[in-house]
Amino acid sequence: MELASILVSLVLAMALIVMGLAKVQSLDPSIEIRDRLGVSATAWRVMGVIELVAAAGLILGAFATWKLALVSAAAAVVTMLVLLVMQTRRREPAAFLVPAAGIAALAFLDVALLLASNR
């Protein structure tokens, strides 16, 4: 893996850890978002676990195999797109979409870098 993809993977992993832990630990701001979106507590925790597993895959993938990082980055893309769809359907203000959109963009960039550097 190239340095750029390693750095993007690690930054993405940090963002996923923050979001995943907030969901798994049921922190108040995360609960407010969950309730606004009408998501069950179980589904919200599952999403948090997926984010944490993806973060672990990104970290391990950065130092082991790029394919693990690629799958993990793709999982991050999917989870952020699911969150964006939920927010859009609930007509959340545009400012509320920024974190998930930013992380989705970072995950897309990571996928592109991983694919480009490991052909």
pLDDT tens digits for range 38-48: 999 999 999 99
User: Which pLDDT does position 36 carry in this prediction?
Assistant: 93
User: Which pLDDT does position 66 carry in this prediction?
Assistant: 87
The mean of the pLDDT values for the chain is 93
Widest Cα–Cα separation across the chain: 43
Indicate left, alpha or beta for 95 from its phi (over 0: left) and psi (-120 to 50: alpha).
alpha
For the chain, what percent of residues have pLDDT higher than 70? 98
Average pLDDT over residues 29-46: 94
Calculate the CA dihedral of residues 1, 17, 74, 93 and round it to 10 degrees: -130
pLDDT at residue 119 tops 80: no
Distance between CA atoms of 75 and 22, rounded to whole angstroms? 18
pLDDT at residue 101 tops 80: yes
Distance between CA atoms of 74 and 77, rounded to whole angstroms? 5
